[in-house]
A and B are shown apart, each in its own frame.
Chain A
Amino acid sequence: MAIEKERQVLVVFPHPDDEAFGVSGTIATHILQGTPVTYACLTLGEMGRNLGNPPFATRESLPNVRKKELLGSAEAMGLTDLRMMGLRDKTVEFEDDEKMVKMMADLIEELNPSLIITFYPNLSVHPDHEATARAVVRAVRRMKDRPKLHCVAFANETLEVLGHPDIVHDVTAVRDQKMNAMKAHISQTSWMLEEMELKLSQGDKEAENWLTKERFYNYRWDEDFEESF
């Protein structure tokens, strides 16, 4: 399915590298089409557990490592509007909920996006992903003219709950850019990439498919995850 031309895209994820695996091809494509894309990354992944083996980073030096990786990923995607929102990894769900909605509403008001990309509430596994998804959905719910809201879902029960994704982007044309975005986050992705590159070199169709197809669900307002907020 071709990627529709947008006025402005806003991507909201909590961790550096959240954008890389499932969304970087879509981001790169929008940028190639001349659409401005803003990526708001809420934390610097301060609590990442991958510090190298043997360790090359510490709990204290990791944020700076991951900040550089995030900048590298943005460069690989051609993204120039990267916002680092200054929250701490694994604490997003404990922030004041209204403050989180306001953070999203302020971004939306400033940027006036025609498309917002984030996680799908209740189907995105990590507590920070869930808190991010809730805040974005709440901010959009309050709008009179809602932009499109494309959500990434990867919980084990996703297929049961939502069925097959209604949006599948073929990002083969920007495959190298996507690979470079994933490689930029090398402190967190090295073992995964090693495994994937081996499969790709063996012509593994599933791995190729996983790399070149990016899947999203339109947020289902008629099955909203809560009645109101």
Chain B
Amino acid sequence: MELVEVKKLQVELDAFAKKDVYLHLETTNGSYATHFNEGFFNAGAFIRNVVINYELGKVVGDSPHRVGLKLPHGWVYAQGITHYELDEQGRLLLAGHDGTGKLAVALQISETPFSY
């Protein structure tokens, strides 16, 4: 993974627009957040291998960045994105790593389904 450069990432996002693509989106504080900090309200969400087709994808802001995908009838967005990679299978993997390196958010797009 490398740090997001807005112009380079924008080119990658454009390349997946107007195609049926598989989406992986997650936000997480980790399952131990409330164990280490009992008052912590642990919330997160996860979706994997749902097909979307976005007409416009944008990366905005200074790091950590926001990334939004405009759909014909709705939206997908993620905030806290710091890193990205176009992997060897041609999948666009975006991630937000906190100051200690732990993953906090992931937004991934692929023309083929992600594994289970």
Asked if A and B are interacting partners, one says: yes
Complex interface: chain A residues within 8 A of B106 (CB): 59
**Complex interface residues of chain A between 52 and 68 (CB less than 8 A to chain B):** 52-55, 58-61, 63
Report A84-97 CB contacts with B as 1/0, cut-off 8 Å.
00101010000000
Q: Which of the segments B11-19, B73-81, B108-116 contacts the partner chain? A: B108-116
Task: Report the Cα distance A54→B84, complex, angstroms.
Answer: 12
Question: Within the complex, what minimum Cβ distance (angstroms) separates B114 from chain A?
Answer: 7
Complex interface: chain B residues within 8 A of A88 (CB): 116
- Asked whether A90 lies within 8 Å of B101 as measured between CB atoms, the reply is no
**Complex interface residues of chain B between 29 and 50 (CB less than 8 A to chain A):** 30-32, 35, 38, 46
- Secondary structure at the A interface, as helix, strand, loop or mixed, is loop
- Asked whether B108 lies within 8 Å of A60 as measured between CB atoms, the reply is yes
With contacts defined as CB atoms under 8 Å apart, how many contacts are there between chain A and chain B in the complex? 62
Task: Report the Cα distance A50→B32, complex, angstroms.
Answer: 13
Complex interface: chain A residues within 8 A of B35 (CB): 125, 155-156
A5 close to chain B: CB less than 8 A: no
Given contacts A49-B28, A54-B101, A125-B32, contact A60 B93 (CB under 8 A): yes
Question: Which of B30, B87, B101 contacts A60, CB < 8 Å?
Answer: B87
Complex interface: chain B residues within 8 A of A58 (CB): 1, 85, 87, 93, 95
- Asked whether B32 lies within 8 Å of A126 as measured between CB atoms, the reply is yes
A127 close to chain B: CB less than 8 A: yes
Question: Within the complex, what minimum Cβ distance (angstroms) separates A41 from chain B?
Answer: 15
Which of A49, A52, A88, A90 has the most C-beta atoms of chain B within 10 angstroms of its own C-beta?
A49
Question: Within the complex, what minimum Cβ distance (angstroms) separates B63 from chain A?
Answer: 13
Chain B residues with a Cβ closer than 8 Å to the other chain, count: 27
Task: Report the Cα distance A90→B29, complex, angstroms.
Answer: 13
- Asked whether A49 lies within 8 Å of B46 as measured between CB atoms, the reply is no
A167 close to chain B: CB less than 8 A: no
B51 close to chain A: CB less than 8 A: no
Task: Report the Cα distance A54→B46, complex, angstroms.
Answer: 24
Task: Report the Cα distance A54→B100, complex, angstroms.
Answer: 9
Task: Report the Cα distance A90→B45, complex, angstroms.
Answer: 11
**Complex interface residues of chain B between 54 and 103 (CB less than 8 A to chain A):** 83, 85, 87, 91, 93, 95, 97, 100-103
Complex interface: chain B residues within 8 A of A47 (CB): 26, 28
A51 close to chain B: CB less than 8 A: yes
Question: Can you sample 24 A-B contacts with CB below 8 Å?
Answer: A47-B28, A49-B28, A49-B30, A50-B101, A50-B103, A51-B97, A53-B100, A54-B1, A55-B1, A55-B95, A58-B85, A58-B87, A58-B93, A59-B24, A59-B93, A59-B106, A60-B87, A60-B93, A60-B114, A60-B115, A125-B35, A126-B32, A127-B31, A191-B100
Seen from chain B, the residues whose Cβ lies within 8 Å of a Cβ on chain A are 1, 24, 26, 28, 30-32, 35, 38, 46, 83, 85, 87, 91, 93, 95, 97, 100-104, 106, 108, 114-116
Seen from chain A, the residues whose Cβ lies within 8 Å of a Cβ on chain B are 47, 49-55, 58-61, 63, 86, 88, 90, 125-128, 155-156, 191
Q: Which 4 A-B pairs have the closest CB atoms?
A: A53-B101, A49-B102, A55-B1, A126-B31
